Amino acid sequence: MSERVFNFSAGPAVLPIPVLEEIQRDMLVLPGAGASILEISHRGKDFVAVLEDAERQLRDLLAIPNNYKVLFLQGGSRLQFSMVPMNLLRGSGKTADYLLTGSWGKKALDEAVKEGATHVCWDGKPHNYDRLPAAGELQLSDNSAYVHITSNETIEGVQFSTEPDVGDTPLVADLSSDFLSRPVPVERYGLIYACAQKNAGPAGVTVVIIRDDLLALGDKSLPGMLLYRNHSENDSCYNTPPTFGVYVVGLIAKWLQEEIGGLASMAERNQEKAALLYDVIDDSDGFYQGHAARECRSLMNVTFRLPSEDLEKSFLQQATERDLCSLAGHRSVGGIRASIYNAMPRAGVEALRDFMQEFRQAN
């Protein structure tokens, strides 16, 4: 297969073609560096310029205030499940509140309980993680170290569109699967983390945005690699950073700014794309059953079921024959999941919409 398909993978996921082309063009020689991005020292001026540029681009896109640091780390978001409580909870005598809106939030909690006292301030499990809490449903603890949320649950397809009100308690958010898909008021958060492999780049780099006062909290007895402060004091070069990943994050941020026109414009496009699929679901007389309650639907991961598993199998098979690929739901929940991140072109979503309509009529 040498043609590109429409790739609905949940991550690693589709990347913008202009970015892939720029990587390809500069793969042998990064302009001015005399070698490729894969071959230059992380201490040299050429890579330092790449890293500073990636940070500046992210700061511009997200309007990150000056009292926040931007870190480029490794270990994926799952390492953040541990680093967050290790730095912000361990030894604090406080309790960390976890708001569970899906499978990833639960996994984050499973790591936090190893580090200190935790409290589930809302749990969507009884209704199969199909909605977010209503105002007033959160039960925060009295002495809370932070409140952890998962802004977009990649498996269930449930997404926050605004921040829950947690008062003065630091809000910590796993933004892995909607980072850079929309504007985010960073000042409402204490810490944001996101692995890159959905909207922001390749697997291997994780972006952490952390408020200065929280950087002071981690205890020196932690392994050096797990202390945010070490990464901050060394400008993300405490050890060798994921150089290629940082480079691609910078290219993606530049693409978002220069070709898309910023995050508000990206969000508008994402809303339009998602509506194409949700409209088919809503107009299908129950043939397609969306998982998430309407007001909590994800613009990134559209999750739905068909009347039977046999129909789901043939849906996936026929979709793949049309080059609409990687549409199977996560192995833990089944069904169908169309991940339509920033770089999924509208044409891909339209092709899926057309196929969904035809499939329903034929069945």
Distance of alpha carbon 190 from alpha carbon 148, whole angstroms: 10
Q: Which is nearer to ligand PMP, 30 or 340 (CB)?
A: 340
> How many residues contact ligand PMP, by CB under 6 A?
11
Q: Which residue has the tokens 């990833």?
A: 104
Pairing of strands 289-290, 301-305: antiparallel
Q: Which is nearer to ligand PMP, 150 or 326 (CB)?
A: 150
- Tell me the closest approach of the beta carbon of residue 80 to ligand PMP, in angstroms: 8
Q: Which is nearer to ligand PMP, 8 or 104 (CB)?
A: 104
Beta bridge partners of 159: 152
- Tell me the closest approach of the beta carbon of residue 151 to ligand PMP, in angstroms: 8
Is 241 within 8 Å of 42 (Cβ atoms)? yes
Reply yes or no on whether 130 is catalytic: no
Torsion of CA 202, 266, 84, 204, to 10 degrees: 0
Q: Is 330 in the site for ligand PMP (CB under 6 A)?
A: no
Distance of alpha carbon 57 from alpha carbon 55, whole angstroms: 5
- Of 73-81, 92-100, 335-343, 348-356, the segment contacting ligand PMP by CB under 6 A is 73-81
Among 78, 188, 269, 322, binds ligand PMP (CB under 6 A): 78
- Tell me the closest approach of the beta carbon of residue 10 to ligand PMP, in angstroms: 6
Reply yes or no on whether 178 is catalytic: no
Is 192 within 8 Å of 167 (Cβ atoms)? no
Distance of alpha carbon 214 from alpha carbon 114, whole angstroms: 20
Q: What is the identity of the amino acid at 4? A: R
Residue in 69, 198, 254, 273 annotated catalytic: 198
Q: Is 104 in the site for ligand PMP (CB under 6 A)?
A: yes
First to last CA, the chain: 30
- Tell me the closest approach of the beta carbon of residue 70 to ligand PMP, in angstroms: 18
Distance of alpha carbon 172 from alpha carbon 150, whole angstroms: 9
Reply yes or no on whether 198 is catalytic: yes
Q: Which is nearer to ligand PMP, 37 or 207 (CB)?
A: 207
Q: Which is nearer to ligand PMP, 205 or 263 (CB)?
A: 205
Q: What residues numbered 125-184 form the site for ligand PMP, per CB under 6 A?
A: 150, 154, 174, 176-177
Residue in 97, 104, 178, 254 annotated catalytic: 104
Alpha-carbon Rg of the chain, whole angstroms?
Answer: 21
Residue whose C-alpha is closest to residue 128's, from 10, 292, 339, 307 = 292
Pairing of strands 206-211, 68-73: antiparallel
- Of 70-78, 156-164, 224-232, 263-271, the segment contacting ligand PMP by CB under 6 A is 70-78
Distance of alpha carbon 74 from alpha carbon 55, whole angstroms: 16
- Tell me the closest approach of the beta carbon of residue 84 to ligand PMP, in angstroms: 12
Q: Which is nearer to ligand PMP, 85 or 280 (CB)?
A: 85
Q: Is 76 in the site for ligand PMP (CB under 6 A)?
A: yes
Torsion of CA 150, 208, 7, 293, to 10 degrees: 20
Q: In the complex, which residues of this chain contact ligand PMP (CB under 6 A)?
A: 11, 76-78, 104, 150, 154, 174, 176-177, 195
Give the active site residues.
104, 174, 198
